[in-house]
Structure 1
C-alpha cells in the first residue's frame, strides 16, 4: 500500500500515534534529570540539550512511522459458515522492503468466540507471513469483518500506531447443515432411526405400486395379484411404497416464545435445525416442502422439490431470527391458508402457553379445514431439571411447586388442542428432530394426506 493510500484512509482506519513504553521511560528520565538540575547536581544546559535531543528523536520517529506503509493483508475464509462450527481463519501479509514486527487482531464480529488472537507478526523482506486462528460463529445471519487491526511500532520504538487494513469481508452464517450429510446415503427408515424416531415397518400399506413379489404370511388378500398368480402358478402379492408428491409445510414461530435457550443454541435455532432435517428427508422421499415463518421475522418459501432444493431452504431461512414480539396465530394461519392451497401436512413449531391456547386453537382449526395439522410445543429443559431434582430447602420447594403448576396448565392447553383432533408433540428441543421425523413418516405410512 502506498504512502498516499495510507494518508487517504479514513481516520477510523488510522489511529493517532501514541507514546510507546520506551518514550515514556525516556520522558521520566528527562524529568529526573530536570529535578537534578533544579537542585544544582547537573547544569541546566545539560538538561536542556537532553530534552531537545529527545524531542528531535521523537519528532523524527513519529514522522518515520507516518511514512511507513501499512502491510497488505488478505483473509482466507469461506463466504458461508455454519453456526457453532469452529473454522480456521488464515491471515496472509504481503512482504515489504524491510523487516517489520507488529501485533495483529482480526476485527471479526464481536460476539463470536475466537482463539489465537491477538498475535505478533514478524514480516521479513521477500517472504509472505501468515497467521491462523480459530473462530466459532455464535449466531446466524449476515455479518461483516471490518478489516484487520495492526499495531505498528516506529523505527526507534518510541511510538505505536493502530491501523486497519484490508477491505470489509461479508460472510453469511447458516444453520449447521453438516448433520444433513449423514442422511445422504441412507434410506428414510435408516435416517429416521439415526435421529431417534421409532416406527414400525408395515409392508404393503403405501399407495404407490413398487413391485411384485411372492406372497408372504400376513399379506392382505387385497395385495394378491391374481393374474400374476395364475401365470406363476403360485401366490404373488403387490408391494406398495409410501405415496410421493405430497406436501409438507414447515411453520416456524419467530415470536418471543422462541427466545428461550437450552445450552449454546436458542430454541429457534434448534427448531430450524430440526425442520431442515425433516425437509431433507421429505425432499428425498419425493415430497414438496414449503416454509412459512411468522411472529417476528416473516418469510414464505413456496413448495420445493428434489434433494438439491435443501439449498434453497437454507438460503431462504439462514437469517431468520426470533423477536420479542407476540405471535398473532390467527394472522399466521390466515396467511398460510391463502398461500398454501393444496392439502398439506403442517408441522407448526412453537411454544404453547396457557394464555395463547384459545388463539392457537382457533388458528389450528382454521388450517384443519384443508390441512393436516401437527403442533410441536417446545418445553424448556430447565423445567424437567427442576421437576427431577430434590427440594432441600423451602425456596426450591416453592420453585418446584410453581413449575408443577405451570406444567399442569400447559398440559391443559395441549389437551384442549387434542380434543379437536390436533396432534400435539410436547418435546424438548433435543427431542424435536426425532419427534418431527416420526410424525412425518407416520402420516405417510398411514396415508393420512
Structure 2
C-alpha cells in the first residue's frame, strides 16, 4: 500500500469548452449577414469565458481535491489473476467526474487502460482491476493519473501521483495455497487429485486403535486385544516419511515453447513449487536441481521450515537457455550429489523420438539408482489440428504431419516405459494436478 502526496497540476479543456467556442465562432460568422447577432455573440463569448474562469477556480483553488491510493501486493503470482485496487477520494464540495489512468508495468502491454467514475462530495470509491502476468521478474508501476471534471465540465484538472512501486512476480504461490489447504486436510481429491488404493502395508507404524469395520484383519494386534479384554485392536500404519523428492527442471531450448502466454519453463516452475510443498506436508524432503548446458542450481533435499522459502527464491530467477541441455552433466551431478535413493521428477520436453534417444542412456543410468519420473508436454495445438476436418489437400497434409508428431509423443512414452521409467505426458494447464497425482500414486504404492 502506497499513499501518494505529491501532485502535478496541469490544465486541460473539456469537449464542452471547445463546442461552446465553436458555437460562439459560428455566431460571429453569422453576424456578418445578420448584424443583430453581433451583440448576442459578444455576450455569449464573455459568458463562456466567465463560466470557464469559474470552473477553473472550482477545480484549482483546492490544493488536494482528489486523494489517490494504490493498494497492491508487493508480489504477484505468475500465471494467476492478481488484484490491484485504486482508492480515490473526492475532497471537493461538489460531485465530480473522473477518468483514472494507471501506468501499469510495460510487461502487460496495455496502453488503453482507463476507468471512468462519478464521485459525490467526500465520497471514496475503490476501483479494482485484474492483471495476469505470464513471466517472472520485477514489474514497475509508475504514476496514477486522475482527470477531474466539475459539473460544468469545461476545464479538466489532471492530478498526477508521482511515485513508483516495484512488484516481484513469483512462481504461482496462489495455487500453492490452494494445494496447501487440501494437503493439510488430506483431501487432495478436491484439487483434482485422485485416490489411489494402497498395496500392502507401509513400514512406518503410527498407533494402535480400536477396530472398525473396514480395517484390515491382518493388522489386528492380539496382545493389545488381550489387554483390552477382547476389544479388537489394530495397528495403524502411515506413509513412510523423510523420503527424498527432487524436482529437476530442464532450462534448455525445448522449454522455451509458449502456451497461453507462458513458457513451458514457467509451467514446470509452478508445478515444482506445488509438488515440493505437498511433499513437505507429507513429511518428505524436497530438493531442486536446474540445468541446461551446465548445472544451474542445486538445493539439497530437506524438510526444514525454511526449505520452501529457499525453493521459491531459487525458482524466482530461473531463465530459459537457448542451448541444448547436457544430460551427461546432469547424470554426473546426480551420481555425486544425491547418494540416497530418491524420486527424481524430471521436467523436460521431447518433440521427437530421436530427441529422446540421444538422452535416453543418461536417463536410464539415473534410473538404476533412483526412481525416475519424466514429465513432458503434449502439444495441444497439434491435437487441435488432428481433430479439425481436412477440407482441402493442404489441410490434409497439415493434419497428417500433426498426427505423425502426436504419434511420436506416444512412442516416447512407450519407449520410456519399456525401460522401467515412469512418464507423464500432459497438457501444460494440467501439469500440476497430474504431477501431484503421480507423486501420491507412487507414494501409495511404496515405489519410492
CA distance in 1, matches of 2:36, 2:321: 72
Count of residues in correspondence between the two structures: 430
CA distance in 2, matches of 1:305, 1:248: 10
CA distance in 1, matches of 2:236, 2:409: 43
- 1:208 match: 204
Name the CA shift for 1:219/1:382 in 2 (closer, same or farther; >3 Å): farther
SS at match of 1:89: strand
Question: Within 5 A, what are the aligned runs for 1:271-290?
Answer: 271-290=268-287
CA distance in 1, matches of 2:296, 2:55: 54
CA distance in 2, matches of 1:279, 1:357: 26
After TM superposition, the structure 1 stretch with the greater mean CA deviation from structure 2, 131-140 or 376-385, is: 131-140
Gap runs ≥5 in structure 2: none
After TM superposition, the structure 1 stretch with the greater mean CA deviation from structure 2, 343-352 or 379-388, is: 379-388
- 1:95 match: 91
CA RMSD of aligned residues (A): 4.8
The question of 1:32 aligning with 2:54 is answered no
SS at match of 1:72: strand
CA distance in 2, matches of 1:44, 1:227: 115
- 2:126 match: 131
Question: Within 5 A, what are the aligned runs for 1:22-421?
Answer: 22-36=16-30, 39=32, 41-42=34-35, 69-70=63-64, 71-82=66-77, 83-85=79-81, 87=83, 89-93=85-89, 95-96=91-92, 100-109=96-105, 111=108, 118-124=115-121, 127-139=122-134, 141=136, 142-153=138-149, 157-165=153-161, 167-174=163-170, 175=172, 176-177=174-175, 178-187=177-186, 190-191=187-188, 195-197=192-194, 199-204=196-201, 206-211=202-207, 240-260=237-257, 267-295=264-292, 300-305=298-303, 310=308, 313-314=311-312, 316-317=314-315, 319=316, 323=320, 325-330=322-327, 331=329, 340=338, 342-354=340-352, 356-365=355-364, 367-368=366-367, 370-421=369-420
SS at match of 2:386: helix
For the 8 Å contact 1:376–1:424, the answer to whether it is kept is: yes
- Scaled by the length of structure 1, what TM-score is found? 0.73
CA shift at 1:322, angstroms?
5.7
CA shift at 1:59, angstroms?
9.2
SS at match of 1:352: coil
CA distance in 2, matches of 1:69, 1:166: 15
CA distance in 1, matches of 2:292, 2:156: 50
SS at match of 1:410: helix
After TM superposition, the structure 1 stretch with the greater mean CA deviation from structure 2, 434-443 or 349-358, is: 434-443
CA shift at 1:73, angstroms?
1.3
CA shift at 1:75, angstroms?
2.5
After TM superposition, the structure 1 stretch with the greater mean CA deviation from structure 2, 281-290 or 49-58, is: 49-58
- Scaled by the length of structure 2, what TM-score is found? 0.73
